[in-house]
Amino acid sequence: MNEIRDAILADQLDALAGLEVPQSYRAVLVRKDEQDMFEGLPTKEKDPRKSLHVEEVATPELGPGEAIVAVMASSVNYNTVWTSIFEPVSTFGFLERYGRVSELTKKHDLPYHVVGSDLAGVVLRVGPGVNKWKPGDEVVAHCLSVELEDPAGHDDTMMDPQQRIWGFETNFGGLAELALVKSNQLMPKPAHLTWEEAAAPGLVNSTAYRQLVSRNGANMKQGDTVLIWGASGGLGSYATQMALNGGAIPVCVVSSPEKADIVRSMGAELVIDRSAEGYKFWKDEATQDPKEWQRFGKKIRELTGGEDVDIVFEHPGRETFGASVYVAKKGGTIITCASTTGYLHEYDNRYLWMNLKKILSSHFANYKEAWEANRLIDKGLIHPTLSKVYPMEEVGQATLDVHRNAHQGKVGVLTLAPTEGLGVKDAEKREKHLSAINRFRGV
Ligand SMILES: NC(=O)c1ccc[n+]([C@@H]2O[C@H](COP(=O)([O-])OP(=O)(O)OC[C@H]3O[C@@H](n4cnc5c(N)ncnc54)[C@H](OP(=O)(O)O)[C@@H]3O)[C@@H](O)[C@H]2O)c1
């Protein structure tokens, strides 16, 4: 592995084709024999530092249409939190099901799950049938894994019945020294970014792009007012940037003055600190409080000069969904991609149908959408929101930060890269965007 790392660090990328792929590599994983370890504990007390391990694992066999990537850096997504606390289900069920699809997918069904749905690195080997990529290519990977044997996936690959999220519903993810991906997950690494910066946006940036911008999502247009929950978090920090540079008006919800400052520094003017306002949308576990929805709606109108929001960018789920449906404008759209606080949502349907509002769903992104989202990063129109970077050995702490909502933007993880700050190929472009790239650092 050292030879590979040294060749990359020395920028001798042509040499990689001549180097042997190691038989094993270090990876972040959860173990099947530990999947019940947190049984009976409340969600908040399930500690990823106990379930995530860094271990040496065997390199998987490279199949047709696949690539092995030397991973320089990766990042923590919320799906790593879910895998590490075995909620809402253990991800080993996904691996078992995938293993049953074909001879080639059997390799995914193992007693361990190598996690991670982002990477920045260099292609080491490609399998038969891969023509677009070659060893030595500097890449990032999006996390959509599809088989595409069914016609259903051919208009929009997210509709493939065999659609999976790599590193969550498949094995051999990006939080590791090597990763196995399908070649149609690969995209060029933006040259002005370091490895860890390039690895940060992938999953959340692509998801926010489909959810907010794509016509498969809310199809945001200039002048739309967009309520963004968790506006300084993983998804929200990209949605906020997309609203701003797409000519829309974000109303950013955050939970502290520091988070309010950071979204303001991105250019957002309308900001609600939900902690300071003390919203309590639920009186108790079973009863919502419509008065609190009204108070929230009034605050939005105060900020917007009396307007309601065209789009609600939803992901907290149960806790906020009733309020989200209430505050959307007549004819407006509530678009959801998640349920962090609970997946059984409740809302008052009268506000939906009488006001002709729409609830839409969104999930990750197809290759084209992920490519467009990566292109925005490459062009310096959207910037990584990396706040903190951990070495691979501390991935448990990195994941705990996200689990406890103690982070901002994205949390990065160094895998093969020995230090931060490496991998920049276009210093001039970097200089131009440096303050925006560094906006979240150290906050
Ligand atoms: N379907 C998909 O393809 C897809 C893709 C990416 C993520 N997701 C899911 O989306 C969710 C968010 O992911 P993320 O990466 O953005 O996570 P994140 O970085 O933790 O950000 C989520 C933000 O939500 C806000 N939040 C948390 N609890 C809240 C509550 N009770 N009420 C209102 N806001 C609350 C927090 O912001 P404040 O505390 O500042 O308000 C937090 O920063 C996760 O469940 C994840 O699994 C789904």
Question: Which spans in 200-348 are helix H?
Answer: 202-208, 234-245, 257-265, 274-277, 290-304, 318-327
Residue 367 pLDDT: 98
Q: How far is the CA of 402 from the centre of ligand 1 (A)?
A: 9
Tokens of 209: 């792009």
Q: Pocket of ligand 1, candidates 75, 91, 228, 235: which has the most ligand atoms within 8 Å of its Cβ, to mutate? A: 235
Among protein residues, the one whose CA lies closest to atom 42 of ligand 1: 230
Q: Give 284-315 pLDDT, tens digit per residue.
A: 999 999 999 999 999 999 999 999 999 999 99
Which ligand 1 atom is nearest residue 81's CA?
Answer: 47
Among protein residues, the one whose CA lies closest to atom 27 of ligand 1: 316
Among protein residues, the one whose CA lies closest to atom 6 of ligand 1: 204
Q: Give 376-407 pLDDT, tens digit per residue.
A: 999 999 999 999 999 999 999 999 999 999 99
CATH superfamily of 2-202+365-441: Medium-chain alcohol dehydrogenases, catalytic domain (3.90.180.10)
Which ligand 1 atom is nearest residue 364's CA?
Answer: 3
Which CATH number is 218-361 given? 3.40.50.720
Q: How far is the CA of 339 from the centre of ligand 1 (A)?
A: 8
Confidence of residue 442 (pLDDT cuts 50, 70, 90): confident
Collapse the DSSP code of 36 into the 3-class scheme (helix H, G, I; strand E, B; otherwise coil) and give the result: coil
Among protein residues, the one whose CA lies closest to atom 14 of ligand 1: 234
Q: Pocket of ligand 1, candidates 84, 157, 405: which has the most ligand atoms within 8 Å of its Cβ, to mutate? A: 405
Q: Give 23-62 pLDDT, tens digit per residue.
A: 999 999 999 999 999 999 999 999 999 999 999 999 999 9
Q: Give 317-332 pLDDT, tens digit per residue.
A: 999 999 999 999 999 9
Among protein residues, the one whose CA lies closest to atom 43 of ligand 1: 233
Which ligand 1 atom is nearest residue 362's CA?
Answer: 1
Among protein residues, the one whose CA lies closest to atom 9 of ligand 1: 338
Q: How far is the CA of 278 from the centre of ligand 1 (A)?
A: 19
Which ligand 1 atom is nearest residue 229's CA?
Answer: 34
Q: How far is the CA of 356 from the centre of ligand 1 (A)?
A: 27
Alpha carbons 321 and 440: distance in angstroms, whole number? 28
Q: DSSP string of 72-123? A: EEEEE-HHHHHHHHT-SS-THHHHHHHHTT-TTTGGG--SEEE--S-EEEEE
Q: How far is the CA of 231 from the centre of ligand 1 (A)?
A: 9
Which ligand 1 atom is nearest residue 236's CA?
Answer: 16
Strand order in the sheet with 24-31: 53-58, 24-31, 112-114
398: left (phi over 0), alpha (psi -120 to 50) or beta: alpha
Alpha carbons 338 and 320: distance in angstroms, whole number? 11
Q: Report whether pLDDT(443) > 90.
A: no
Among protein residues, the one whose CA lies closest to atom 15 of ligand 1: 234
Q: What percentage of the chain exceeds 70 in pLDDT?
A: 100
Tell which residue, 73, 75, 82, has the closest CA to residue 48: 82
Among protein residues, the one whose CA lies closest to atom 36 of ligand 1: 230
The domain locations on the chain are 2-202+365-441, 218-361
Q: How far is the CA of 184 from the centre of ligand 1 (A)?
A: 27
Q: Pocket of ligand 1, candidates 340, 362, 388: which has the most ligand atoms within 8 Å of its Cβ, to mutate? A: 340
Q: Give 335-362 pLDDT, tens digit per residue.
A: 999 999 999 999 999 999 999 999 999 9
Q: What percentage of the chain exceeds 90 in pLDDT?
A: 100
The mean pLDDT of the chain is 97
Spell out the residues 6+ positions from residue 364 whose beta carbon is closer than 8 angstroms to its own.
Answer: 142, 143, 144, 158, 165, 203, 206, 207, 210, 370
Which ligand 1 atom is nearest residue 82's CA?
Answer: 47
Among protein residues, the one whose CA lies closest to atom 24 of ligand 1: 230
Measured from CB, residues less than 6 Å from any atom of ligand 1 are: 77-79, 203-204, 207, 229-230, 232-236, 253-255, 259, 274, 315-316, 319-320, 337-338, 340-341, 363-364, 402, 405
Among protein residues, the one whose CA lies closest to atom 31 of ligand 1: 319
Residue 176 pLDDT: 98
Residue 277 pLDDT: 98
What secondary structure letter does DSSP report for 210?
A: I
Predicted TM-score of the model (pTM): 0.97
The mean pLDDT value for 226-243 works out to 97
Alpha carbons 300 and 307: distance in angstroms, whole number? 8
